[in-house]
C-alpha cells in the first residue's frame, strides 16, 4: 500500500510551504498520522513536527505535514518540483 500518493500543487499549498514550513500531501484513506509521519521521514530523511489530516468529501485524504524548524519545506518542494 502506497501511503503517500502525491503532493498538492495548488496556489494555497505552495504558499503554505514558505509560511508554515508545511507540505500538503494526498495520502491513502486508511493511513494514520503516525504511518504518514514515518513514511515521510523515511522517504525524505527529515524530521516531522506534526501531521494534521483532513478527510475530503470527494473520497481522498489530505495530510498537512509540518517539518521541524531545522528542515525547510522549500527544499523538499524543490525536490518534488513544486516550485
Closest to 45 (Cα-Cα) out of 13, 21, 70: 70
Q: What is the pLDDT of residue 73?
A: 95
At 65 the pLDDT is 98
Greatest Cα pair distance in the chain: 35
The pLDDT of 52-75, averaged and rounded, is 96
Model confidence at 1: pLDDT above 80: no
Domains, the chain, with CATH or none: 4-79 (3.30.70.330)
Candidates 11, 17, 12, 3; CA nearest to 78 is: 17
pLDDT one-digit tens code per residue, 5-63: 999 999 999 999 999 999 999 999 999 999 999 999 999 999 999 999 999 999 999 99
Contact 55, 29 (CB under 8 A): yes
Please tell me the distance from the alpha carbon of residue 14 to that of residue 77, in angstroms, as a whole number. 8
pLDDT value at residue 83:
82
Amino acid at each position: 500500500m502506497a501511503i503517500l500518493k502525491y503532493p498538492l500543487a495548488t496556489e494555497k499549498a505552495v504558499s503554505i510551504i514558505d509560511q508554515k514550513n508545511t507540505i500538503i500531501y494526498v495520502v491513502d484513506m486508511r493511513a494514520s498520522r503516525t504511518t504518514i509521519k514515518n513514511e515521510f521521514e523515511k522517504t525524505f530523511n527529515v524530521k516531522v513536527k506534526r501531521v494534521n489530516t483532513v478527510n475530503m468529501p470527494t473520497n481522498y485524504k489530505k495530510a498537512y505535514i509540518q517539518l521541524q524548524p531545522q528542515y525547510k519545506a522549500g527544499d523538499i518542494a524543490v525536490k518534488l518540483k513544486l516550485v
